[in-house]
Amino acid sequence: MVDLCLYVKVKTEQLSNETASLEEQEAGLVHDCVRELQEMSDRIGRMHGELAAKSDVIASQNEKILELMTKIASLEKNSVKVLELY
């Protein structure tokens, strides 16, 4: 009976130590995951800002292209009129 009690105490301590070790590992993994998620969130935020800036540049370039195409069409009309006069 004494051997059984000693075995149970030893086993309880062993399981307790293993549980504490696993809980530390779990806490470390959770911490790592939170850190990585924060890093990814920051990266996504930066990329979102870069994308917004590039979108603004593209919109501006599209406006300029439209203006130039309108000028080209106008110049073509005028050149046709000038050629018709000659």
For residue 70, the number of C-alpha atoms closer than 13 Å in the C-beta half-sphere is 6
Question: Is residue 2 very low, low, confident or very high in pLDDT (cuts 50, 70, 90)?
Answer: confident
CA angle, 66 then 68 then 72, to 5°: 115
* DSSP at 48: H
pLDDT at residue 26 in the model: 98
**Which percentage of the chain shows pLDDT scores above 70?**
100
For residue 25, the number of C-alpha atoms closer than 13 Å in the C-beta half-sphere is 6
Question: Is residue 28 very low, low, confident or very high in pLDDT (cuts 50, 70, 90)?
Answer: very high
For residue 14, the number of C-alpha atoms closer than 13 Å in the C-beta half-sphere is 6
pLDDT digits 0-9 by tens, 33-74:
999 999 999 999 999 999 999 999 999 999 999 999 999 999
pLDDT at residue 82 in the model: 83
* CA dihedral sign of residues 47, 50, 55, 61: negative
Rounded CA separation 14/35 (Å): 32
Alpha carbon distances (Å) from 57 to 46, 47, 69: 17, 15, 18
